[in-house]
Amino acid sequence: MIMMVLGVLPKTAKIVESIPAPVLGGAAMTLFATVTVVGIQTLGKVDFNDHRNLIIASTSLAMGMYVQFSQSSGPATVLDHGRGIAVPALPGIDQAVPGLLQIPFSTGITMGAITAIVLNLLFFHTGSRGVAVAGGGAIRLAQVNEMTLEQFRRTFGGLVQDVHWVVDRAYRQRPFADAHDLRSAFQEAMLTGSDEEQLELIGSFPDLGAEDEAGEMVAVDHTILQTLDEAELNNVVSLATAYREHFGFPLVVCARETERYERLLRSGWSRMENSATSERSFALIEIAKIANYRFDDLVADANPITAARFGRFEDFHATR
């Protein structure tokens, strides 16, 4: 737009020509910095659980950097022990392609943008529609939006211990635009429940380290505690028992984010001094983390990185 105005108003262009080069250079740097910040903000809103977005971003960045660092270079002179050595011009990728193809290969920004547009059209506007969200790609987002309430409960109930009010409230937020929208629906449902509903949700979680008759962890999220020896596990169970007796609801901890046994005990016992209201809020935050990890398990096939780290959603039902 600015270039069009300068072209229509020659006198304005003359004024711009009179601006010192350092000033114009600083303005250009500010402009590109602004574009970069806006780009980072945009990427922050992208759902990278959908592997298509991951591929688009990484491929566009790689192509842009490759083209930018493979441009032709003009002749130059370098100093070697005080002697000037002439370096001939070196052809780059921009000269290796014929005709109009030199345009997309002229700058890294151009190539990155074109790559992003082409991949976006390929992934989101051709072929099957919707993000695979469950069942190894057998269930897609479009199908989720068409589910009955009972089907939705069976598919996503395991995220929140099959507490129906959370699932039902998330269900009412259909249609979901993408996996991020679906994830947000569960998070908003959990955090906007009444005090009674939230206590029901907290109480649905098993005690930390609880085992079934076969000696297996009741909650699959607690399997990391199986690396503890018997004495350490007993200490964790004692903590969970004392916590429940004190507050009336279970000690909820996102075990996947607990790396050290000592830290778990120290944090758990220190929380005994908090008020019940504070602990209820803390428990909801931990439940949100647990549900978030379970959601990643559910959509593992939509994110190759997540798929490599966690098992599939059916494991939750097999171990409950």
When pLDDT is cut at 50, 70 and 90, the band that residue 307 belongs to is very low
pLDDT digit string, tens, across residues 50-59 = 677 888 888 9
Pairing of strands 83-87, 76-80: antiparallel
pLDDT for the residue 154: 92
Range of 97-111, 212-226, 283-297 with top mean pLDDT: 283-297
Distance CA 273, CA 257 (A): 22
Q: What's the mean per-residue pLDDT of the chain?
A: 77
pLDDT for the residue 304: 39
pLDDT digit string, tens, across residues 67-78 = 787 777 767 777
Range of 11-15, 42-46, 87-91 with top mean pLDDT: 42-46
pLDDT for the residue 213: 63
Please give the model's pTM, rounded to 2 decimal places. Answer: 0.55
Domain boundaries for CATH 1.10.3330.10 within the chain: 141-318
Of 70-79, 104-113, 163-172, the poorest mean pLDDT is in: 70-79
Work out the average pLDDT over 221-244.
82
Of 38-42, 128-132, 203-207, 265-269, the poorest mean pLDDT is in: 128-132
The fold of the 141-318 domain, in CATH, is UraD-like (1.10.3330)
217: buried, middle or exposed (CB in 10 Å: 19+, 13-18, 0-12)? buried
pLDDT for the residue 299: 63
